[in-house]
Amino acid sequence: MLWETLSVVRDLPRLHEIATVMIRYGWGDLVRVLGISGVLERAGRILHWHHTSEISQLEAPVRIRRALEELGPTFIKLGQLLATRVDMFPPNWIVEFEKLHSQVPAVPYEVLRQELVEALGGEPAEIFAAFDPVPLAAASIAQVHRATLKDGTAVVVKIRRPGIEAVIRADLRILDHAARLIESEVPDFRRYDPVHIVSQFRRSLNRELDLAKEARNIDQFGRHFADDPLVTIPRVYWQHTSRLVNVQDEIIGTSGVAPEVLAAAGLDSRLLAARGADVVLRMVLEHGYFHADPHPGNVLFLPGNRIGMIDFGMVGMLTATRRNQIVDMLHALTLKDEQGLLRVLLDWNSESAIDEDRLAYDVAELLQSYDDLQLKDVKIGALLNDIAALMRENNLVLPADLTLLFKTLITLEGLGQQLDPGFHMVDHVTPFVERIIQQRYTPQALMSRGRKSLRDALEVLADLPRDLGHLLRDARRGRVRIDLDLKRLDHFGHQLDRASNRLTMGILTASLVIGSSIIMTVQAGPQLFGLPFFGLVGFLIAFFNSLWIIFSIWRSGKH
């Protein structure tokens, strides 16, 4: 707890900046709920509780988006993550979060040069035949420069921005404290598990900070599409790649979806839309490892109507079980199977208390609203948004590993429709789903599942006598227990533990003061500045203990 207190003190300047921005954009109530205002005012930092009339006239989603933009890279990335949470926010909020981008002014090459030299192990001129100091693109975490290897290969060099890690670490500490406060003090948000969202966000940012991780993602996708001549994935040059920099092939193609630009390049936009959809669906449904940000800037169109993909910092992963659930959901949607869709939604439910009858009614009503549409006219993106709304209304939370998938499928359909106004995502989903469903019931697949089920059953039967013996022995010894996970009780226990710690530290501090006072009257023993050494040490420890107790009480809002 002392470390947490010191962390808050260390982050006071950033806390003040965050609180000021949030208040200016009309989110002062959130600042009060999180206790930031109390901490800052006790630290002598005055907050100005007002915002301009111009800002007050903006809609809430616009105000939060502009606040996140002003707060910088970490909060922009947080907004981008929240844009994937279609189960938490209505469409107008998602639209605003999607406007967040990471384009920032580039860092001058002179500032980057020393870090680049250390990462490469030598001067750029020693590694590359040519290196362009003018960046090709700049984002919040890294920027990209063109270069040429000694053998003439055109590459791009992605370099992490100096000092970005320290900024992100401070923001993550603050977000972690905020998430814990929200979870304990705002019951309506508890079902969304804000602590887990911040944890997920931390993992995502750590992956993006580690440019070698992105390089490993590139290699993984390269292996998956090694046999597909229609898909181009850049090659990584590992001898020049590390956590701070990665070097990969430059893919030169047409970016954007303007029909006239694609036609001038000799490309067929309708064919590109179909191939792009098939590539991403193959990633999702066959590999379980997909590019989670397939927007026009990350998809390049190459001669021969080939697809090139870049920027693999954000990827999604699905287990075999989750892929089967996705296939079942898509199959139920295409067949308008109420029971099939209901089973999948119930499988996704973890701890939320739900009314199954109401959920079943809402599922039936949802599919009924699509009953008059032909299959080709069903828009997957709209349907997924409707499912997300249904989940919000029924107290269901979309599993974290599916939020990226929903967002990816919605983005993919939008990209396809920009390339081809007649594009129907469902036309591409249906063959994949039907093929996977058919593969489930081939004789080989049935035999394989049967052998696995039989093996699992035999293992359970074989272990049953031993497990029953352990249970009976523990019961005789009075060691059988039942664990109840009650969040509010846990919170009360945590608060009681904190109070006990403070009381114990207070008693120890008082004892130290008394003991040190007695020692100060004794002239024997080592001395420092003419005073008994051990007495001074005791007073010093008591002083720091007192600071800890004071800061601990301040943090809890008690006096």
Give the tens place of pLDDT for each residue, 388-408.
Answer: 888 888 878 777 778 788 888
Domain-embedded: residue 113: no
| pLDDT digits 0-9 by tens, 198-246 | 887 888 888 888 899 999 999 999 999 999 999 999 999 999 999 999 9
Residues 429 and 530 occupy one common structural domain: no
Q: Is 293 a catalytic residue?
A: yes
More confident residue, 46 or 267: 267
pLDDT tens digits, 26-37: 776 676 666 665
Residue in the block written with tokens 């901490």: 39
- Whether residue 538 contacts residue 508, with contact meaning beta carbons closer than 8 Å, is answered with no
What gap in Å lies between CA 387 and CA 408, rounded to an integer? Answer: 15
Residue showing tokens 């590459």: 155
Give yes or no: residues 398 and 300 share one domain. yes
From the candidates 11, 87, 249, 293, give the one annotated as an active-site residue: 293
Q: Residue type for 489, please?
A: L
- Asked if pLDDT for residue 486 goes beyond 60, the answer is no
Looking at the structure, tell me whether residues 199 and 78 fall in a common domain.
yes
Supply the range of the domain harboring residue 198: 2-102+166-206
**pLDDT digit string, tens, across residues 139-156:** 878 889 999 999 999 999
Residue found by looking up tokens 């846990």 in the block: 490
Whether the pLDDT of residue 42 is over 70: the answer is: no
> Is it the case that residue 188 has pLDDT exceeding 50?
yes
Residues 293 and 425 in one domain: yes
**What CA–CA distance (Å, rounded) separates 379 from 428?**
12
Cβ atoms of 231 and 307 closer than 8 Å:
yes
471 and 520 share a domain?
no
Q: Considering 440, 463, 497, which residue would you say is the last residue of a domain?
A: 440
Name the nearest CA neighbour of 217 among 198, 202, 228, 233: 233
Residue listed under structure tokens 């904190």: 498
404 in the same domain as 262 = yes
Q: Are residues 423 and 516 in the same domain?
A: no
The answer to whether residues 359 and 504 belong to one domain is no
In a domain, 300, yes or no: yes
Shared-domain flag, residues 389 and 452: no
Residue 393 within a domain: yes
pLDDT at 376: 64
Task: Answer yes or no: do 426 and 353 share one domain.
Answer: yes
User: Are 375 and 297 contained in the same domain?
Assistant: yes
**Confidence label for 2 from pLDDT (cuts 50, 70 and 90):** very low
Quote the pTM value: 0.69
The residue type found at 93 is W
Lowest mean pLDDT among 42-56, 91-105, 427-441, 473-487: 42-56
Q: Is residue 145 part of a domain?
A: no
Model confidence at 466: pLDDT above 80: yes
Beta-carbon contacts of 557 under 8 Å, excluding residues fewer than 6 positions away, are: 35, 38
Residue 220 lies in a domain: no
Q: What is the mean pLDDT of the chain?
A: 80
187 and 59, same domain (yes or no): yes
Q: Which of 59-63, 302-306, 340-344, 349-353 has the lowest mean pLDDT?
A: 349-353
